[in-house]
């Protein structure tokens, strides 16, 4: 179990590094490093797009299976997820907004009148928090009815979640992500994959199944690359497209089977939530400072921003975790001081 946990922590460290890399580059030309759409950086962003949040979410589903809810813990479970996800959304989101409001040189200026959007719409990188909360709400009701206790039940729920995402992609493309509900449809299939990995070991370790997943993963990557280089043309190939789902689902299953362990990634993985919450303060500030000092080399900006974006949140967590109020507001942890590492809930 310890070896398995370390392999998952390794994946968690890898996942958060990919997330930070994506935000350093920027998801479009006027964000992050403001790279051109035909640049290597945009190619790198596109190539990793199908992995970042899917891997993060699959890991969340796997972790859930370690302590699944019961009918007796239903309310307590959801209260805990609200504290863990929504409290930092408000606290860190507000801090992020104020920082952008008063800091010169940010990619997009904000106005104080927009502050309410933090709590209603998806707000930059923090869209993930309310969307994941709704995933837990839906999963809670599914688990309350014990609908995923068998491989058959799990498969049916997975198929339904994919169909719901397809409906969203067809009919709700212009609908704003109010309170993170629209984003939930994208995340929930990957969360269910994580539950399957954690719950159905016989399936996930079956050589034929793993071979099929590996083949589909490689096929999906090939199609993705051919699409980027305009060898083939797909009408819809975004991260929530059938191709995105294929690569994200099969790729995460294969990564879990590899069971890679790297002590540096294990260490970083232990701070993954804080890195997600606070990395933007390090990446944006380092980019602004470098540009002010005359460093415009994109490789330097990328490496420095990535490094600072990982180190700064680790330092922040080590500091704020020592105080009841800050660990509650900014990490969503229980309003009490930790006795040991196992109390970080």
Please answer whether residues 12 and 59 qualify as being in contact, where contact means their C-beta atoms are separated by less than 8 angstroms: yes
188 Cβ partners below 8 Å, 6+ apart? 135, 138, 139, 161, 164, 165
Note the helical H segments in 231-297: 242-258, 263-269, 272-292
Distance, in Å, from the CA atom of 214 to the CA atom of 220, rounded to the nearest integer, reads: 10
Q: What pLDDT sits at residue 338?
A: 64
Rounded CA separation 180/85 (Å): 12
Q: Which residues of 14-50 are buried (b: 16+ CB within 10 A; e: fewer)?
A: bbbbbbbbbbbbbeeeeebbebeeeeebbeebbeebb
> Under a CB-based contact definition with an 8 Å cutoff, are residues 126 and 330 in contact?
no
Closest CA to 220 of 232, 202, 208: 232
Per residue in 268-309, pLDDT (tens digit) is: 999 999 999 999 999 988 988 888 888 888 999 999 999 999
**Closest of 86, 88, 69 to residue 77, by C-alpha:** 69
Span 220-271, pLDDT tens digits: 999 999 998 888 887 766 788 889 999 999 999 999 998 889 999 999 999 9
Q: Please report, for residues 25, 44, 270, the alpha-carbon distance to residue 245 in angstroms, rounded to integers and kept in the order given.
A: 23, 19, 27
State the virtual CA torsion across 262, 264, 269, 272 in degrees, nearest 10.
-150
Q: Kindly report, residue by residue over 156-215, the tens digit of the pLDDT.
A: 999 999 999 999 888 777 777 778 888 999 999 999 999 999 999 999 999 999 999 999
- CB-CB contact of 290 with 35 (8 Å): no
**How sure is the predictor about 104, in pLDDT bands with cuts at 50, 70 and 90?**
low
Q: Given this model, what pLDDT does residue 241 score? A: 87
- For the chain, how many helices (H) and strands (E)? 16, 0
What is the pLDDT at residue 4?
Answer: 60
CA 284 to the chain's CA centroid: 19
């Amino acid at each position: 179990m310890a070896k398995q946990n370390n392999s998952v922590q390794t994946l968690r460290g890898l996942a958060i590094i990919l997330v930070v890399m994506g935000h350093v580059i920027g998801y479009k030309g006027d964000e992050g490093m403001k790279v051109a759409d035909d640049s290597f950086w945009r190619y790198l962003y596109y190539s990793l797009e199908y992995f970042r949040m899917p891997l993060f979410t699959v890991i969340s589903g796997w972790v859930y299976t370690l302590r699944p809810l019961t009918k007796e813990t239903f309310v307590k479970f959801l209260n805990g997820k609200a504290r863990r996800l929504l409290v930092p959304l408000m606290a860190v989101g507000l801090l992020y907004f104020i920082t952008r409001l008063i800091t010169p040189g940010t990619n997009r200026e904000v106005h104080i009148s927009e502050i309410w959007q933090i709590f209603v719409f998806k707000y930059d990188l923090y869209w993930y928090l309310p969307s994941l909360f709704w995933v837990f709400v839906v999963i809670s009701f599914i688990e309350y009815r014990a609908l995923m206790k068998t491989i058959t039940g799990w498969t049916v729920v997975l198929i339904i979640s994919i169909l719901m995402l397809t409906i969203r992609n067809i009919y709700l493309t212009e609908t704003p992500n109010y309170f993170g509900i629209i984003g939930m449809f994208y995340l929930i299939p990957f969360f269910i994959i994580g539950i399957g990995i954690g719950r159905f070991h016989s399936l996930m370790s079956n050589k034929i199944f793993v071979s099929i997943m590996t083949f589909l993963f490689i096929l999906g990557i090939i199609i993705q690359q051919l699409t980027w280089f305009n060898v083939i043309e797909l009408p819809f190939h975004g991260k929530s497209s059938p191709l995105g789902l294929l690569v994200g689902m099969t790729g995460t299953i294969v990564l879990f089977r590899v069971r890679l362990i790297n002590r540096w990634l294990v260490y970083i993985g232990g701070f993954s939530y804080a890195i997600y919450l606070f990395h933007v303060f390090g990446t944006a500030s380092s980019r602004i400072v470098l540009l002010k000092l005359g460093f415009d080399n994109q490789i330097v900006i990328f490496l420095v921003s990535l490094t600072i974006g990982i180190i700064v949140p680790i330092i922040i967590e080590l500091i704020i975790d020592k105080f009841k109020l800050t660990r509650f507001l900014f990490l969503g942890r229980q309003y009490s001081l930790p006795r040991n590492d196992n109390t970080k809930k």
